[in-house]
Structure 1
Amino acid sequence: MTEPLPFAARLTRAPIPFDEQAGTDAARAFLDLGTELQPLIAGAAGCSPYLNTLLTREGDWLRHALSGAPETAAAQVLASLAPLPPDRLGPALRQAKRRIALLTALADLGGVWPLEEVTGWLTRLSDRAVDLSMQVLVSEEIRRGKLPGQGPDDAATAAGMVSIAMGKTGAGELNYSSDIDLICLFDDARYGAEAVEARAAFIRVTRRMTALLSDQTGEGYVFRTDLRLRPDASVTPVCLSMSAAYAYYEAEGRTWERAAYIKARPCGGDIAAGERFLAALTPFVWRKHLDFAAIQDAHDMRLRIREHRHLHGPLKVEGHNIKLGQGGIREIEFFTQTRQLIAGGRDPSLRDRTTVGGLAALAAAGWVPVDVADDLTALYRAHREVEHRLQMVQDARTHEMPSTAEGVARIAAFCGQDETAFRAGFLDRLARTDRLTEGFFAPSEAEEGPELSETARAIVQGWGSYPALRSDRAQGIFRRLRPAFLKRLSRAANPDEALMALDGFLKGLPAGVQVFSLFQANPALIDLIVDIAGTAPELAAYLSRNSSVLDAVIGGSFFAPWPGKAALVKELADRLEAVPDYERKLDAARRWMKEWHFRVGVHHLRGLIDGFESAKEYADLAEAVIAGLWPVVGADFARKHGPAPGRGAVVLGMGSLGAARLNAASDLDLIVIYDAEGVEQSEGPRPLAARPYFARLTQAFVTALTAPMAEGRLYEVDMRLRPSGRQGPVATSLASFTAYQETEAWTWEHLALTRARVLAGEATLAADVEAVRRRVIQAKGQGAGVRADVAAMRARLAEAKPAKGAWEAKNGPGRLLDIELLAQMAALQSGSAARGVETQLASGVKGAILSVSDQTALMEAYRLLWQLQAGARLLTDRPLELERLGEGGRAFLLRETGEADAAALSARLDRAVAEAGAVISARVGGEDGETGDEG
C-alpha cells in the first residue's frame, strides 16, 4: 500500500487573507514549516479568528502534524484517547477536538482532503468521544452496583447501552461546527425484571455524557449533543429501553422519523445490540411498496421549514440560509432521502446513509438521471464548503450568510475568490439546485381526459348546476382539474360507479374554490378521491354522504401525524363537553368517530400507513370512544339513579380490542366488572340495588355504542366473553369474576384473559382487575390439560368456522385465529402478561414452548395474513375474492403485501398458511385433537 504524501505536497489552493495583518503575523510564526504552507496559514488566520487562536494554542503540535501525512496525524490523535476518569477524560477530549478541528480546517482549506475526508474525520472523533464517555461513565455505575449483574468487563460495551448516531453524525457527514444527534437506548432484554433499575443508571450516564461532551470550559467543548430525535422527546427520558422505542416506532412512527433512520447507525457502546435494534426497525423505515406518499410529506416539511424560518422571497446572498433556504443543502437531502424512501423498501441498494452515496445509488438504479445526480453531487459539495467556511470563522453553529457586504467579502476571501465572482457563483448554484429539485416536489400538469360514455357524459354535464361550481373562479379551477379526475376514474374497477361516488361528493360541497385550489396545489389528493371512489365502496359511500369530512383536509390536519390515544380522548371529551344534551352527545360522538375512522381508512388506502399501523389507530380510536363515553353514560345514569355504589365499574376490552389491533370492520368485545364494596344500593331519585344498577348501567353503555341514530351507530358490541357467556349477568362483580376465573372458567376463558385490558373506569379497581388477570394466568397455564383443551378447541373451530375460499385470512388451519389461539396458549403456559400476538409468541420461545424457527414461521404467516385481512375489510364486507375486486382493489392488496401479482401472492399465502398450520399442529395437535410433542 502506497504511503500518503506529506501535507505540503498535496496543497491545491489557499484562502485569501481578509485581515492581512492577522494573516501575516500567523504565517511569520510558522516560517520554519517552509514557503509552501505560508499562503494557507495566512489565509486561515486572516479569515478566521477562531483558527488564528488554534494556530497559536496548538502550534507546537501542528508543526509535527504538518510534517507528514495528515491522515497519520489525525489517527494518532484518536489513538491517544483512552478511558480515563471523567475529570481527566473531558480535557483530553477537548484537546483532541482542538487538534482535529485545526487539522481538518487546514486540510479542507488547502484542498488536501475532499469533503468526505473532512466530515469523516470529524465524525470519527465524535464516535470515539461518545464511545469513551459511555465506557467510563457506565464503568462508574457498575462500580457503584447500579447495573444489576454487570461486571467490570461489561463496561467495554457499555453494559448493553448504545448511542445511535442520527443525521449527519450517522451518515459520517458532520459539518465543521455541527451538533451530534444521538438516540440513547439500552437492551432491556439483558436485564429482565431489573430493567427499571438499569434504566435509571443509563439515564444518569446519558445526562453526564451530554455534559462531558457539551459543556464549555476553559479547554473549549467537544461536541454539542442533541437528544431530541428520540421517540416522543417531550415526554420520554433521555435514554429508553429498546423495546419501548421499538413499540413507539411500530405504533406511532412518522414519515420524518423514517427519513431520519436512513442515516442511523450505532456509534458507541453496545454496537451489536444497536445493529439488532436497527435491523428490527427495517420494516418501519423501508416499506415494501413504492411509497410515493413520502413526496407529499417531504414537500410539506420543506414548506413548513421555510415558513417557520421566514425563508421566502427572492434569492440574495446576504442572510441566505445555505442549509434550509431555497436551493440549499436540505433541498438536496430531501430530494435524495424522499426517493430513497419511495423505492428503498424493494431495492436495498438504495439504502445508503450518505447524501452523495444515495444520489449515486439512485442514479445507478435509474431513479435519478445520471447527469442530475452528478450535478446535485457537485452542488452539494460546493454548498457544504461554503457552510464550513461560515462555521470556521468563529466556530459558530450557523448556516446563514453574513448580513453585511463586509461579512460576505470575508466568506468570499475564505473561499479563495474575489467578492464579485463569489456572489455570482453562489447565486447560480442556489438557482441550479432549486431548478433541479423543485420539479420533483411541485404539482404536475393535468393530463387530457378520456372519452366519456353516454352515462358518464350525462353526469358530468350536470356538474355546472352544483353549488360548488357556480362561481366563475371555481369553474376555472375545476376546468383544469377535470381531465385528471376523469382519466383516473377511467382506470377504476367500475368507472361509472366511481364517477357516481365522485358526483355525490361534488354535489354535497357548499363551495368549491378552496377545495379545488387544494386539489390543484396537491394533485395527490385527486388520486385520493379517485382511489376512494374506485377502490373502497364503503369509504366512497361515506364520502358521498359526508363531504364535510374533507374540512380536515382543507385545514391541513387530515394528513397530520396520528395524535395518539391520549390526544383523542381529550379531543372527544372537549367535543362532548360542549354539547349539553345526552342524545346530542351520542350523535356528536358518532360524527367524531366516523371522521377519524374515515381518516384511518384513507391513510391505509393511500399507503400513508400499513395494515399494522391502521390496526393500532383503529384500536386507539375505539379506546378513545369507550374512555370518552363511559363517564358520559355514567353521569346520565347517576342523574336518575345516583352515583355508582362503591368503587364503580371498569370496562375491559377483550379479543382484538384488548390486543389493540382492530380492522376497519371490527366489533368490540367488552366485559364490565364492578366493585360495590358492600354498598347494597345507590342513593338517588330512583335508587337501585348494586347488581341491577351495574347491569343497567352496562346496558345503557352498550346502547350508547350500538344504537342506530341520525349519525349511525358507533360499533357492534359482543359481550359473550363475560363469565358464563350469554347466561351470565352483563356486569360481574370483582369477587364473582375472581372466583369464576379461579374455580369455574374453562381453558378457553383463560386464553381470552391473556388479551384482556382495562380501557375505562376507576383506577384502583382497574389495577385490582389487572392483578387478578396476571394471577390467574400464572396459576392456570400450568395445568396438564391446557394443551389438550386447546387442541380440542382448534378442532371445533376448524369445523365451525372453515376458510371461505382460497383468499381467507381469518378462519381455518394456519390462519389468523389459529395463530392467535397458539399465541394465547403460549402466553398462558408461560405465565406471560403479554397481550399482542408478537409478544405472546416471544413469551412462548422464552418459555421453551416454541422454538425460534416456530416463531419465525408463525410471524411471517401472521404478518401476511393480517395485511390481507386488514386490507380486505377496508375494501369489502364480503369474503375476499381477489379476481372480483377490480384493478384498484387488487393493486392495493398487492402493494400492502409487497407482491408483484395475484399468482405470487397466492403462492406465498398457501406456503405461509401451510407452514404455520404445520407448526401449530406440531405444538398443539391436529384437527382431531391429538396433541403434539412437548417442548
Structure 2
Amino acid sequence: MITGPLASAITAAPRPHDRDRAAEIETLFADLPEAPRTLLAGTAGCSGFLDGLMRREADWLRAALDQPPERAFGEILAAVEAEDGGPLGTRLRVAKRRAALLTALADLGGVWPVLKVTQTLTDLADRAVDLALRGLVAEEIARGKLRVDPAETGATAGMFALAMGKMGAGELNYSSDIDLIVMFDETRHDPDDYGDVRKVFIRVTQRLVKLLSEITAEGYVFRVDLRLRPDPSVTPVCIATDPAENYYESVGRTWERAAFIKARPCAGAIDAGWAFLERLRPFIWRRHLDFASIQDAHDMRLRIREHKKLTGPLQILGHDVKLGRGGIREIEFFTQTRQLITGGRDAGLRQRDTLGALEALTAKGWVEPATAAALSDAYLAHRALEHRLQMLDDAQTHRMPATEEGLARLVDFCAADPARFESELLDRFRSVHELTEPFFAPGGAPPEPPEVAFADPEAAEATIQGWTRLPALRSDRARELFRRLLPRILTQIGKSASPDQALNLFDGFLKVQPAGVQLFSLMEANPKVLDLIVDVCGSTPELARYLGRNAGVLDAVLSRDFYRPLRGAADLRHELAGRLAEIEDYESALDFARIWTKERRFRIGVHLLRGIASSEEAGDAYSAVAEAVLAAVLPVVTRDFASRHGLPPGAGAVVVAMGKLGSREMTASSDLDLIVIYDAEGAESSEGRRPLPVSTYYARFTQAIIAALSAPMSEGILYEVDMRLRPSGRQGPLATSLASFAAYQEEQAWTWEHLALTRARVVAGPHLLAERVGEAIDAALTRAHDPEKVLADVRDMRRRLAEAKEAAAADPWEVKLGPGRMMDIELLAQAGALLRGLSRLHRPRRMLSRLARVGWLTGPEAAALEAAHAAFATTQQILRLASDRTRDPAEMGRGLVDLLLAATDEPDLDALRARLAASAEAADAIIRRKLGGGEAAAEAGG
C-alpha cells in the first residue's frame, strides 16, 4: 500500500509517441513536479483516450496525485454512494472514468503492480453492480410491482448476481466487459407469485444492463455480458436457482464447470448466491480424478483457435495476446484444467485467481515449480501488455497492432527497448506454448516395440512414444510394471483383426487413466483382463471408450459370474436395493449405484462382443439394469427428499418407462425416457420440516430423481434422462397427477402421444399406485380411436419425419430413420395396437405378431416387418458398441465388422447392406399399403 502521495511514488513513464499532444499536456500541468508531469505527458503522447480523460478531469487529477492512490480510489467509491451527487447512472460513469484514469497512471507509473490494478477495477465493478441492482429492485418494491417485505426476503428480494470470469477472480482487465449470471432465489417468494416475480427480475436485469452499458455524455460504466447463463439462446436474462441447478446437473458441460471455478456472488442477496454455489459444488468439483477434462479443454482451445483464425506461424503483428499461441488463455486453461482434475478431492486447489491456483497446484505437486514460476511471470507480463493495448483507445482488444506504426506506438507506451521488444515477446509466447502444450498433447521417447504389422508404422510409433508421458505412467512403479506388460500388450494388439484401431483405442484407454500402478498390477496378475481390454479395443470403439472412462469395472471381470447368463430385472432390483439399504449417506448410495451399474453395463457389452448374448438378449439386459436402478434408487431419493419436505403426500409417485426402456430394447448408448405420475389423494401439501404444496413437492421430487440419475458425481452419472414424453411435453409440469394424466389422455393427447404410450410401463414406485397407473394407460390405449384420424396422423408424421431426416435417411447404415426402417415399422405397429385396443405388449415386434393374430396384418406382412425390424435392431445394437452415432461399419475396424457379420449371419458388408435395403423396401411397401389414404385408411383401420 502506498502511504505517500501518488505523485511521489512514480518510478516509470511511457515515452511520448505524439510529441505535440504530450507538449500540450505538459503545459496544462506545468504546475506539477517533474515525475508526474513526465508521466502525464508520456501517457498523453501515446493514448488519445487517456489524454482526453486528463483534460476532462484536470482538477480532480491534481487532487488525486496529491494523495495515496488507495485513498483517491476510496473517495471515488464514496462519491458513488453519495445520493446527493446526482442520478446513480451519472455517479457511476464519473466514478468509472476517474478510476480508469487513476488505475492507468498507477500502472504506467510503476506505482501499482498489475494484480493491484485488476483488483481495483474489480472492486469498482462489484460496487457498481451492487448499487445498481439494489437501487433497481428498491424501485420495483416502491412501485408495488414486487410485493415483498425486505425484512423477510432481504433488500433485493433474493435477487443476486454472480461475477464470472475475470471479474469473479478479481482479475478484470483495463477495458474488460463484466460477465454476470443474474439469478433469484425463488424460495423466498410465494410459489403462486413465481411468474410475476420472474417478470420483475427480468425487467430489473434488462434495466441493469442498460444502466451500466449505455454510452451517454458521461461515458459508460461497464459492458455487461450475460451469455454465461444456462443455455443463453433460450433462457431469460434472469433465472431462478432451481431450473439453473437442474440444467447444470443434467446437461452442464466441462467449459461451464471451468467457468464456475471463478464464480462468486458480487451483488444483491450474497447469501443466496453462496448457497447456490454450494449446491452446485458437486457439478463443479468431481471427487474422482477427472482426466477427461484435459481433452475437453484441448478441444476447446483448438475450436477457439480455429474460430478466431489464430492458426499459422507465430508473429507479433496482429497476434492475440489472450487467445493466441502462448497467450493468457493457454495459462488459464493449463491451470483451470488441472484444478478440475484434482480440485474435487482437494478443496485447497479451488482458488479463483490464476496465480493463486498455480501456487496451490505447485505446493501439492501437480505442477513443477520451474513451470509454475515461468508461467506466473509470463502471466503478469501478458496482463501488463494487455492493459497497455486497451489503454490506447479504451478498446476491448487483445490484438497486437497490425501495422509497424501501431507497434512503434505500443513500444513507446511500454517504454520498451525497440531493438528487443519483438524478440523478447516472441520468446515469451513460445515459452508459454512449449510449457503448456505437452499437458494437452503429450509426447515422449518410445520403448522399443516388438514387430507388429501396423498399416501405418510411423503413426504407431508416435502413439507408443506418447505413452511414456501419460499420467498413468507418472510413477517409477507404474513405468516398471508397464515395461513388463508392453510385449504382451503389443502381441495381443498384433493378433487383433484391426491392429491400428486396437492400438489407437488402447492408446485412448491409457490416456484417460489417472494412475497406473493398480491397473497395471491387475493386468499383470490376471492376463485375461489385459486380453479382454485389447479385445474390446480391437472390436468395439464405443465400449473401449466406455472402458477407458470407467476402468474400475475391470474388477468385475474377476468375479466368478462375469461370463454366466445375464440376469433379469427382478434379480437385479433385489440385489441393488439390498446393497443400497446398507448405505446411510445419500451421495455414497448414489455413488455405489453408479459403480454397480457401470460394471453390469460393461458386462453386457462384453457378452455381446464375445457372442455370449444375442442383440435381443443384450437389449433385455441393458433395460433390466436400468429398471433395477430406477426401482432401487427411487426409495433412496424418497428418503432423502422426505427428510426435508416430508413423505410423499397421498399415494406417492411412480416412474413410467417410455421409449426403449419401456419396450426393453435399450442399447449401450440409450438414455431413459421417463414420466412421473403421482396421486396426492386430496392432500394439499406435504408435512415435513419445510412443507411444500403438492404440485411443487412432486415437481421438485421429480427434479431430485433426475438429479440422482443424471448429476455427475465421483463415479459419473447413471443415465441421461429425457422427460419430454410427459403430458404437454416441455410445457407441462415435470410430475403429473394421475387424474390430470387420465384426463389429458382422454381429452387432449395427440395421436403421437398415444402411440408412444403403447410402450409405457410402470417400473418403480408403490405397487398399488402402479396398478392404478397401469389401468389408466390401458384405458387410454383401449378406448375407441378414429381409424381415419389415427392413420392420417401417422401418414403426416411419416411425411414430416421424412422431410426433417432426409439427409440421415440417405445413409444406408442409418437403421432407425427412413422409409421402412425401425421407426417407420414401430409407428405402424403402434398405430395398429392403438386401433385394435391392444395394451401391455410394449415391444413393436410383439405388437406385430398380435396384429397378425387379430387380422389387422396378414401373416406374411407381420413376418416381413418383424424380420426387417430384427435385422435393423441387431445392426443398431452392435453398432452402438462402436459409436453413439450412425457410421459406416467399414470405418470402425475389422473386429467390429466381424462381430456385426456374425450377429447378422451375413458373409460381408455388401450383403448386409443389400439385405437391409431390401428389408426397408419391403417394409415400406407394406406400411404405405396399410396406412393408405381416404377409403384405404378406413379399410385399414378395420
1: distance between equivalents of 2:716 and 2:758?
Answer: 24
Contact 2:503/2:537, CA 8 A, preserved across alignment = no
CA distance in 1, matches of 2:505, 2:110: 56
Question: Aligned-pair distance for 1:367?
Answer: 2.2
Asked whether the equivalents of residues 283 and 713 of structure 2 are also in contact (C-alpha less than 8 Å), the reply is: no
C-alpha distance in structure 2 between counterparts of 1:372 and 1:300, whole Å: 23
Please give the alpha-carbon distance, in whole angstroms, between the structure 2 residues aligned to 1:311 and 1:681.
61
Aligned to 2:266, the other structure's residue is in SS state: strand
In structure 2, the CA distance between the partners of 1:132 and 1:656, relative to structure 1 (3 Å rule), is: farther
Aligned to 1:698: 839
Aligned residue in 2 for 1:139? 138
Equivalent runs, 1:632-671 vs 2, <5 Å: none
Aligned-partner residue type, residue 426 of structure 1: L
Tell me which residue corresponds to 1:615.
718
* Contact 2:12–2:108 (8 Å) recurs in 1: yes
- Cα 1:282/1:693, change in 2 over 3 Å: closer
Task: Kindly indicate whether residue 216 of structure 2 is the aligned counterpart of residue 217 of structure 1.
Answer: yes
Aligned residues: 630
Instruction: Pick closer, same or farther for the CA change 1:45–1:479 going to 2, 3 Å.
Output: same
Unaligned runs of 5+ in 2: 444-465, 469-478, 557-598, 611-658, 673-706, 731-749, 767-772, 792-828, 848-865, 878-942
Q: CA deviation at 1:610?
A: 2.9
**1:573-612 equivalences in 2 (<5 Å):** 593-596=667-670, 609-610=712-713
Aligned equivalents of 1:230, 1:293: Cα separation in 2? 23
> Which position in structure 1 is the counterpart of 2:28?
29
Distance 1:349 1:231, change over 3 A: same
Distance 1:540 1:368 in 2: 38
Do residues 446 (structure 1) and 444 (structure 2) align? no
Contact 2:241–2:276, Cα closer than 8 Å, also in 1? yes
- 1:183 alignment partner, SS class: strand
Cα distance change of structure 1 residues 478 and 145 upon mapping to structure 2, 3 Å threshold: closer
Alpha-carbon distance in structure 2 between the residues aligned to 1:691 and 1:357: 66
Shift of 1:525: 9.0
1:360 CA displacement: 1.7
Deviation at 1:541, TM superposition (A): 5.4
Take 2:510 and 2:165, find their aligned partners in 1: how far apart are those partners? 42
Q: Deviations over 1:626-666 (max 9, x none)?
A: 99xxxxxxxxxxxxxxx97998895797877789xxxxxxx
Task: For residues 795-827 of structure 1, give each alpha carbon's deviation from its aligned partner in whole angstroms, at most 9, with x where no partner exists.
Answer: xxxxxxxxxxxxxxxxxxxxxxxxxxxxxxxxx
SS for the counterpart of 1:162 is strand
Q: Does 1:82 align with 2:81?
A: yes
Shift in CA distance, 310/608, structure 1 to aligned 2, threshold 3 Å: farther
Between the aligned partners of 2:340 and 2:300, the Cα distance in structure 1 is 15
Which residue does 1:72 correspond to in 2? 71
Q: Return the alpha-carbon distance in structure 2 between the equivalents of residues 490 and 136 of structure 1.
A: 63
Matched residue of 2:777: which SS?
strand
Determine if contact 2:164/2:179 at 8 Å carries over to the other structure: yes
Contact 2:15 / 2:415 at 8 angstroms: preserved in 1? Answer: yes
8 Å contact 1:138–1:205 — kept in the other structure? yes
Aligned to 2:159: 161
The alpha-carbon deviation at position 591 of structure 1 amounts to 8.5
- 1:491 aligns to 2:528 (yes or no): no
Q: Which amino acid aligns with 1:496?
A: P
Q: Is the 8 A contact 2:509 2:547 kept in 1?
A: no
Structure 1 unaligned regions, length at least 5 = 510-514, 548-584, 599-603, 628-642, 660-668, 716-935
Taking the aligned partners of 1:330 and 1:352, their CA distance within structure 2 comes to 17
Report the residue type matching 1:33 in the other structure: L
RMSD over equivalenced CA pairs, Å: 4.7
Write the deviation string for residues 827-868 of structure 1: whole angstroms up to 9, x where unpaired: xxxxxxxxxxxxxxxxxxxxxxxxxxxxxxxxxxxxxxxxxx
SS in structure 1 at match of 2:156: helix
Contact 1:505–1:545 (Cα < 8 Å) also in 2: no
Alignment of 1:742-753 (within 5 A): none
Cα distance 1:197–1:409, how it changes in 2: closer, same or farther (>3 A)?
Answer: same
Matched residue, 2:382: 383
Q: Does 1:187 align with 2:185?
A: yes
Deviation at 1:216, TM superposition (A): 1.3
| Partner residue in 1 for 2:339 | 340
Corresponding position of 1:539 = 602
Which residue of structure 1 lines up, in the alignment, with residue 370 of structure 2? 371
Q: Which residue of 2 aligns with 1:233?
A: 232
| C-alpha contact 2:501 2:538 (8 A) present in aligned 1 | no
Task: State the partner residue of 2:125.
Answer: 126
Contact 1:299 1:441 in 2 (8 A): yes
Query: Does the residue aligned with 1:614 lie in a helix, a strand or coil?
Result: coil
- Give the aligned residue type for 2:169: A
Q: Does 1:394 align with 2:393?
A: yes
Matches within 5 A, 1:514-913: 527-528=548-549, 536=599, 538-539=601-602, 542=605, 545=608, 593-596=667-670, 609-610=712-713, 614-617=717-720, 673=777, 682-683=786-787, 696-702=837-843, 709=870, 711=873
Taking a change above 3 Å as real, the CA distance of residues 304 and 364 of structure 1, as seen in their structure-2 partners, is same
Deviation at 1:197, TM superposition (A): 1.3
Residues 270-308 of structure 1: CA deviation (Å, up to 9, x unaligned): 111111111222222122222222222222211221122
- Contact kept in structure 1, 2:79 and 2:85, CA below 8 Å: no
> Secondary structure at the residue paired with 1:181?
strand
Contact (CA 8 Å) 1:84, 1:136: kept in 2 or not? Answer: no
Distance 1:460 1:621, change over 3 A: farther
Amino acid corresponding to residue 446 of structure 1 in structure 2:
W
Contact 2:14 2:414 (8 Å CA) reproduced: yes
Is it true that 1:351 corresponds to 2:338 in the alignment?
A: no
Tell me the distance in 1 between the aligned counterparts of 2:230 and 2:165: 15
Equivalent residue, structure 1, for 2:246: 247
Counterpart Cα distance in 2 of 1:704 and 1:494: 46
| Partner Cα separation in structure 1 for residue 343 and residue 246 of structure 2 | 22
1:491–1:122 distance in 2 versus 1, CA, 3 Å? same
The letter of the residue matching 1:353 is R
- Partners of 1:451 and 1:364 in 2: how far apart? 28
Q: Percent identity, please.
A: 43
Deviation at 1:418, TM superposition (A): 2.8
Distance 1:17 1:645, change over 3 A: closer
Indicate the SS of the match to 1:158. coil
Aligned-pair CA distance for 1:33: 1.6
- Say if 1:260 and 1:182 are closer, same or farther in 2 by CA, change over 3 A: same
Q: Say if 1:391 and 1:399, in contact at 8 Å, map to a contact too.
A: yes
Q: Distance in 2 between matches of 1:164 and 1:483?
A: 38
Alignment partner, residue 117 of structure 1: 116
Deviation at 1:346, TM superposition (A): 2.3
What is the rounded CA distance, in whole Å, between the counterparts of 1:89 and 1:179 in structure 2? Answer: 19
Q: State the partner residue of 1:20.
A: 19
Give the aligned partner of residue 150 of structure 1.
Answer: 149
**1:137 deviation in Å?**
0.9
3-state SS of 1:701 partner: coil
Deviation by residue 1:114-139 (Cα, 9 ceiling, x = unmatched): 11211111111111111111111111
Please give the alpha-carbon distance, in whole angstroms, between the structure 2 residues aligned to 1:147 and 1:165: 24
| TM-score normalized by the length of structure 1 | 0.60
The residue that corresponds to 2:498 in the other structure is 468
**Partners of 1:77 and 1:96 within 8 A in 2:** yes
C-alpha distance in structure 1 between counterparts of 2:780 and 2:510, whole Å: 66
Alpha-carbon shift at residue 614 of structure 1 (Å): 2.1
Deviations, residues 163-193 of structure 1 (Å, cap 9, x unaligned): 1100001111100000100000111110031
The amino acid that maps onto 1:701 is: H
Q: CA deviation at 1:377?
A: 1.3
Deviation at 1:502, TM superposition (A): 3.6
What displacement does 1:74 show? 0.8
The CA deviation string for residues 180-226 of structure 1, in whole angstroms up to 9 with x for no partner, is 00000111110031222111100000000001101112211110000
SS at match of 1:234: coil
Q: 1:268 is paired with a residue of what secondary structure? A: strand
